[in-house]
Amino acid sequence: MASESTENPASLERAALSRALAGVARQDRAALQEVYCRTSRKLFGICLRIFGERADAEDAMQDVYITIWNRAGSFDPARGNPISWLATLTRNRAIDILRASGRRPTAPIELAAEVADESPDAEAQLVEQGEDARINHCIEGLAKSDAQMIRTAFFEGSTYADLAARVSLPLGTVKSRIRRALLKLRECLS
Amino acid sequence: MNDDDDLLAAELALGLIGDSAATSRRAQDGAFAARVAWWEDQFAGLTTPLAMEPSAQLWPRIAARIPQNDNAPTNVLWWKLTSGALAAVAAISLFMLAQRPQIELPPQPGAPAVASLAGETGSAMAISYDSATRRIALAPIALDPGKGDAELWVIPVGADKAVSLGVFDARKPSSHQLNPAQARLVAAGATFAVSLEQRGGSPTGQHVGPIVASGKMVET
């Protein structure tokens, strides 16, 4: 069998996943199964982070893969990374389900002290061991409280209004802090 | 794009605003949509560290909700009927699939044949086969051979005897090339099955361990 060792595993994986998604777009069940095989651990990790309970996360996963089945045709391999596309689809679908169930988290959040911590948190340490995404480095450069609000918006589906209520700050303050943080993120990411 | 527009794209990507005006702008303004997609890709990176194994029952539940193709029934009666005759076909050279597993799943020039194997215990496997190149790709799911090996079998169209195609890595997708004798057995309508065997595969030329998944090959 021919060897593909000259290509790096991450780009091979992306190419294989793009091909499988093209198969799903043709309504090929075996292709969906291959997508599942390659992505279920990662996508389940996202659902579990959002729901906190395995049973809820697995229910959401069923919806996620049905959504992939229905929407694979809208993925354009020329424009995007299939893994990011799937992660975004999963996060958005999970947040939709969370919102529809009326269980969006509303508990107060105590914002971290402004001073950035020198020691990377557990999540950051995990990233260092594996394949990194630049945002995980960039977000560490923000004030911890701003990073915390952005993570909360992403993983808990909190809007500006939700965040303002949860951190007990005026809406305008929360908006301007997050917008400043987003510009700083963009500078680091670009 | 000015900062305000780009921030709006970021806010939409992050779900900070439930703004229908921004949502419809995304549908109509290509440049804006591209920025929302850029931000979504960036935020997707926040999920990089996350990974967790779902239960083995999840895939069968998903599979039950999508349209069926020609998937073989999960009962294994035919195995019981035919297993006694298997030694006769063992003379066909057996190619041990596990010797050269490969990460790449094959590209599919032309129309590949596929099979979706499932079983009652939640084990499953997707198979894709390209007759032009004789390459077969295996994507196992929740297949646990314990200390032994998973072995792939094929019952050719019109035959009632199963032939081993060899053992394979049950823990990750792999791709293999069939030899010409094996390739003659694999075509649309053939039935595949996976059994769990001792290390190295069944020594008898017929399956000894349980059949955990089976399914029919169809043309795509």
Given a cut of 60, whether residue A85 has pLDDT beyond it is: yes
Which among B16, B50, B141 has CB closest to A36? B141
Contact residues on chain B for A67, CB-CB shorter than 8 A: none
Residue A114: per-residue pLDDT: 61
Given a cut of 90, whether residue B216 has pLDDT beyond it is: no
The total of other beta-carbon atoms located within 10 Å of residue B155's CB is 22
Residue B82: per-residue pLDDT: 38
How far apart, in whole angstroms, are the C-alpha atoms of residue B184 and residue B123?
27
Full DSSP string of B117-169: EE-TTS-EEEEEEETTTTEEEEEEES---TTSEEEEEEE-TT----EEEEEE-
Measured between CA atoms, the residue of chain B closest to residue A26 is B220
| Contact assessment for residue B125 and residue B135, using Cβ atoms and an 8 Å cutoff | no
Which among A13, A130, A135 has CB closest to B46? A135
Q: Which of B118, B55, B16, B121 is nearest to A56 (CA)?
A: B55
Q: In angstroms, what separates the C-alpha of B160 from chain A's closest C-alpha? A: 25
* Residues in a beta bridge with A60: none
The answer, for B40 touching chain A at a CB cutoff of 8 Å, is yes
How far apart, in whole angstroms, are the C-alpha atoms of residue B210 and residue B35?
53
Measured between CA atoms, the residue of chain B closest to residue A156 is B15
User: B4-11: long-range contacts (C-beta < 8 A, 24 or more apart)?
Assistant: B5/B32, B5/B35, B6/A186, B6/B35, B7/A179, B7/A182, B7/A183, B8/B32, B9/B35, B9/B36, B9/B38, B9/B39, B10/A182, B10/A186, B10/B35, B10/B39, B11/A160, B11/A179, B11/A182
Q: Could you give all domains of chain A from N- to C-terminal order, each with its CATH number? A: 10-100 (1.10.1740.10), 122-189 (1.10.10.10)
Enumerate the CATH 2.60.40 domain ranges in chain B, comma separated: 58-219
The answer, for B66 touching chain A at a CB cutoff of 8 Å, is yes
Contact residues on chain B for A84, CB-CB shorter than 8 A: 40-41, 44-45
Contact residues on chain B for A34, CB-CB shorter than 8 A: 105, 126, 128, 137, 139, 173
How far apart, in whole angstroms, are the C-alpha atoms of residue A183 and residue A188?
9
Residue A180: per-residue pLDDT: 96
Contact A30 B177 (CB under 8 A): no
How far apart, in whole angstroms, are the C-alpha atoms of residue B219 and residue A52?
41
The pLDDT tens digits for A105-148 are 888 888 877 655 545 454 444 444 445 678 999 999 999 999 99
Which of A123-137, B110-124, B139-153, B184-198 has the least mean pLDDT? A123-137
Which of A49-63, B70-84, B140-154, B174-188 has the least mean pLDDT? B70-84
The pLDDT tens digits for B167-206 are 898 888 888 888 888 888 888 888 899 988 888 888 777 8
Half-sphere exposure of A57 (CA within 13 A, CB side): 21
Contact A37 B141 (CB under 8 A): yes
For residues B23-45, average pLDDT: 92
The answer, for B105 touching chain A at a CB cutoff of 8 Å, is yes
Strand order in the sheet with B124-130: B163-168, B149-155, B191-197, B211-219, B113-118, B124-130, B135-141, B174-177
Quote ipTM for the complex.
Answer: 0.85
How far apart, in whole angstroms, are the C-alpha atoms of residue A152 and residue B139?
35
The CATH architecture that domain B58-219 belongs to is: Sandwich (2.60)
The pLDDT tens digits for A155-182 are 999 999 999 999 999 999 999 999 999 9
Residue B210: per-residue pLDDT: 81
Residue A131: per-residue pLDDT: 52
* Residues in a beta bridge with B207: none
How far apart, in whole angstroms, are the C-alpha atoms of residue B36 and residue B9?
5
Which of A65-69, B100-104, B174-178, B185-189 has the least mean pLDDT? B100-104
